[in-house]
Structure 1
Amino acid sequence: MSGLQEWLYAVFVEQFDAWIVLGFFAQGCFTMRFLVQWIASERARRSVVPVAFWFFSLFGGALLFVYAIQRQDPVFIAGQGMGLFIYIRNIWLIASERKAALAETD
């Protein structure tokens, strides 16, 4: 085997376990937010950030945060951990806005 083949085998085969499955699932959820945002923007013909973007961000980011902790990667932990505050705050702001709008209609 060449050096590249050995590296690919070590990275993608030898260390494959349930945590890797969780990591790829989490990354898939996190990636869905971009797909949701892109589709919403294309339909509106302008840049749109739908609520689903923030929920996919929160869910995928939280799972990636757990994965990063298990892998003990400080850069990944810090990046995903800080993002969680932003996602939660945006969901909070959206909920507050909707609650205020409902109060106005009563």
Structure 2
Amino acid sequence: MYAIGFLAQAFFSARILFQWILSERAKKVLSPSIFWILSILGSYLLVIYGWMRNDFSILLGQFISYYIYIWNLHEKGDWKRVHAVLRTIMLLTPVVAVIFVCNNADEFIASFLKNDKVPLWLLIFGSMGQVIFTLRFVYQMVYSARRNESILPIGFWVISLIGSFVIIAYGMFRLDPVLILGQAVGFVAYFRNIIIARKDYKYRLNESE
């Protein structure tokens, strides 16, 4: 179980690492395709881990962001390069999962929403952290859609920091090394992207003057 969770976080950490390196080289914040490809792979595995841990907050966070990853690949023109069969599987996976949950609603509620290992206050706290962390992608999608291109704006990284802090606290309460280590890795990159974005903004502002 932990192997799956750590592999998922490895994909998420790799996406941040690639994005960070490419942004440092370009001296501006980039949204490379590899970021979104690794996001999808990590999301798949983290859902499996969350299911094995009976962790509703993990499932909730990935459910919200999954299609946004695909949308960004589409905006970058890479989604159509994925084989049609694989695209179909990727698009239908969350739908099949929802149907399965609906058909086993009582069992799902008992395992995920009434879990003795996760009291209600902790469930709400963890879900809040995942929602905040995931809303960065909703913000990113709206921001990008208005500009007709995939962009990772400075607000994305600010929300990342806030959500990550809450998730780390939740992971400590649940004694979950996957969440703690996975979120801790991104902290430096989030701060650095904010600095890069601010420098790029000041540079473009000076250029316009």
Q: For the superposition of Structure 1 and Structure 2, which TM-score range results when normalised by the shorter chain? A: 0.7 to 0.9
TM-score with structure 1 setting the length: 0.79
| Alpha-carbon shift at residue 22 of structure 1 (Å) | 1.1
Higher mean alpha-carbon deviation, 61-70 vs 10-19, is at 10-19
Tell me which residue corresponds to 2:110. 9
Q: Deviations over 1:47-85 (max 9, x none)?
A: 111111011111001110111111111111111111112
**Quick check: which has more Rg, 1 or 2?**
1
Corresponding letter in the other structure for 2:163: G
**How is 1:23-42 mapped onto 2 (pairs within 5 angstroms)?**
23-42=126-145
Corresponding letter in the other structure for 1:68: G
Aligned length: 104
TM-score with structure 2 setting the length: 0.43
* Match status 1:58 vs 2:161: yes
Q: Deviations over 1:17-66 (max 9, x none)?
A: 32221111111111111011111111101111111101111100111011
Q: What's the secondary structure of 1:82's corresponding residue?
A: helix
Q: What's the secondary structure of 1:47's corresponding residue?
A: coil
Tell me which residue corresponds to 2:21. none
Equivalent of residue 67 in structure 1, options 149, 170, 182: 170
Structure 2 CA distance for aligned equivalents of residues 50 and 8 of structure 1: 37
| Alpha-carbon shift at residue 97 of structure 1 (Å) | 4.2
Overall identity of the aligned pairs, in %: 32
Corresponding letter in the other structure for 2:156: F
Corresponding letter in the other structure for 1:58: L
Corresponding letter in the other structure for 1:24: S
RMSD: 2.7
Q: Which has the higher contact order (CA 8 A, sep 6+)?
A: 2
Structure 2 CA distance for aligned equivalents of residues 20 and 51 of structure 1: 29
Equivalent of residue 181 in structure 2, options 78, 85, 95: 78
Structure 1 CA distance for aligned equivalents of residues 159 and 176 of structure 2: 22
Unaligned ranges ≥5, structure 2: 1-103
Structure 1 CA distance for aligned equivalents of residues 142 and 107 of structure 2: 39
